[in-house]
């Protein structure tokens, strides 16, 4: 029996864990049983203000620390008199889909793509991902902590995985990927086996690649040079039509074409939204400006980076449009409206999903009998690149961006830019549009002590070179 006498707010505030752009994130050692239990109690207490429920759903990724955290959350929920539906290791969108269908809140134990020494917890209301207001309610819950029985998990159910697979089998009927060879980079992704099953159900021949017993923190926004080389080699060796991978918890896609080139997530999202006849989009300010330039959407709302902000943007758009969606630069696609086509229905899933955009593009290319790369080549020539400096103190990042907002000329000088600043956007971080049309966007990560750099230009090589130039200059600054 673990007796906890302190309140949830006291335990959480002293843990050092904070909400980032996607859930509560921190070092593994900070997520003690007591802290995980406190977050669970605070979350349930906050949800009970608006919803009535007797159960809660639970899932986790493959990080070694995740099962222990899941056990502590399970024990806390039980101590509050709730049953726990444990769906084991699965993609975050699969857990969210099942919980929403059942009308219950859910908790996902995952650190997504962040470094191995960290982990996190994502929370979902019965009607979808929590808002920033919900985050504040969790932190301020100040609920009394119950005494916890033995910290252990329930028996695992496969029902959520089955429902997620059925979603795509119904929306993409008739094995549309027959004749396609798809390389599935599995690494340690939560949905690695489920993704293979779904691809095979759609008719694809699946070549499994890069499976790992050790956790691999794949970042779909900053694909490593090693993974880029792997993609090209795999495509050539196995004569692939496409490559697919995800981040650790399966809510961000990594899509490669027949040459093995990994495509940018916001371009994947754009093509998916256009194929689904989406009318209005909410996307973070960091996404490629080709979204507006392509002319496919009646309205594009730009938000801060992070799914809660995208969700808020989608909610506002839903008042005026019937087919609303959002996506992020990492490729995670949020479907805000239920879609119907030929008596088939695709239920709204207002949280990041990796498979819908990836499968939509593959099926579209297969039906048109064109290589996947052709879909990307048809867009206006705007290219983005991004990378990050790790172990770059967040406070230092903020100081620099505040200085450069008031003195753009200093930004140009420090980074060695070859054009002056025409416009500054501070929606999230500092996004400088240069007078030659290039864009440099700097932003402290919300999940780790990192400084991210996003650049946009009219050639991929120029965008990539601009990112590296900026990061080299930033790396020389005294910390």
Positions marked active-site? 112
Find the radius of gyration of the CA atoms of the chain: 22
Beta strands 344-346; 339-341: pairing state = antiparallel
DSSP structural state of residue 458: S
Q: In angstroms, rounded to a whole number, what is the distance separating the alpha carbons of residues 342 and 357?
A: 20
Question: How far apart are the C-alpha atoms of 470 and 479, rounded to whole Å?
Answer: 16
Strands 242-246 and 181-185: parallel
Q: Distance (Å, rounded) from C-alpha 71 to C-alpha 40?
A: 11
Tokens of 43: 């979350």
Where in 319-420 does DSSP place strands (E)?
324-327, 333-335, 339-341, 344-346, 349-353, 383-390
> What is the distance, to the nearest Å, from the Cα of residue 331 to the centroid of all Cα atoms in its chain?
7
Which residues are bridge partners to 335 per DSSP? Answer: 325, 349
Q: Distance from first CA to last CA of the chain, Å, rounded?
A: 46
Cβ(266)–Cβ(327) below 8 Å? yes
Residues whose CB falls within 8 Å of the CB of residue 306, separated by 6 or more in sequence, listed in order? 20, 21, 22, 284, 446
Kind and range of the H or E run holding 312: helix 307-317
Of the candidates 144, 126, 138, 99, the residue with the CA atom closest to the CA atom of residue 13: 138
């Amino acid at each position: 029996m673990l007796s906890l006498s302190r309140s949830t707010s006291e335990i959480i505030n002293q843990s050092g864990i904070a909400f980032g752009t996607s859930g509560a994130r921190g070092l593994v050692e900070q997520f003690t049983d007591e802290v995980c239990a406190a977050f669970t109690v605070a979350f349930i207490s906050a949800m009970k203000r608006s919803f009535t429920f007797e159960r809660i759903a639970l899932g986790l990724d493959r990080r070694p620390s995740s099962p222990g955290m899941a056990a502590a959350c399970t024990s806390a929920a039980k101590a509050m008199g709730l049953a726990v539906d444990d769906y084991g290791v699965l993609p975050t969108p699969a857990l969210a889909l099942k919980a929403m269908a059942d009308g219950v809140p859910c908790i996902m134990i995952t650190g997504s793509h962040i470094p191995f020494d960290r982990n996190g917890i994502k929370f979902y209301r019965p009607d979808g991902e929590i808002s920033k207001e919900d985050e504040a309610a969790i932190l301020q819950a100040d609920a009394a902590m119950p005494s916890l029985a033995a910290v252990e998990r329930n028996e695992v159910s496969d029902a959520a995985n089955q429902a997620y697979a059925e979603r795509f089998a119904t929306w993409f009927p008739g094995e549309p990927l027959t004749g396609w060879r798809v390389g599935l980079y599995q690494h340690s992704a939560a949905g690695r086996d489920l993704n293979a099953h779904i691809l095979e159900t759609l008719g694809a021949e699946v070549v499994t690649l890069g499976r790992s017993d050790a956790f691999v923190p794949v970042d779909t926004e900053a694909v490593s040079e090693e993974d880029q080389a792997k993609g090209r080699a795999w495509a050539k060796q196995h004569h692939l039509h496409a490559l697919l991978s995800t981040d650790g918890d399966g809510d961000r896609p990594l899509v490669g074409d027949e040459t093995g080139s990994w495509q940018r997530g916001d371009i994947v999202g754009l093509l998916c939204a256009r194929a689904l006849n989406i009318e209005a989009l909410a996307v973070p300010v960091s996404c490629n400006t080709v979204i507006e330039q392509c002319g496919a959407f009646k309205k594009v709302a730009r938000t801060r980076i992070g799914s809660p902000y995208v969700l808020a943007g989608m909610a506002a758009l839903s008042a005026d449009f019937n087919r609303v969606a959002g996506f992020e630069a990492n490729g995670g696609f949020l479907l805000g409206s239920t879609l119907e086509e030929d008596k088939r229905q695709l239920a709204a899933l207002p949280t990041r999903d990796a498979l819908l955009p990836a499968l939509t593009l593959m099926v579209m290319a297969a039906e048109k009998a064109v290589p996947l790369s052709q879909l990307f080549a048809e867009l206006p020539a705007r290219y983005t690149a991004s990378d990050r400096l790790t172990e770059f103190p967040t406070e230092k990042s903020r100081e620099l961006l505040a200085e450069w907002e008031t003195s753009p000329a200093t930004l140009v000088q420090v980074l060695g830019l070859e054009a002056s600043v025409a416009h500054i956007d501070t929606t999230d971080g500092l996004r400088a549009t240069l007078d030659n049309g290039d864009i440099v966007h700097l932003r402290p990560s919300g999940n780790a002590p990192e400084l991210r750099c996003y650049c946009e230009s009219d050639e991929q090589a120029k965008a990539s070179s601009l990112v590296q130039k900026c990061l080299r200059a930033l790396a020389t600054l005294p910390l």
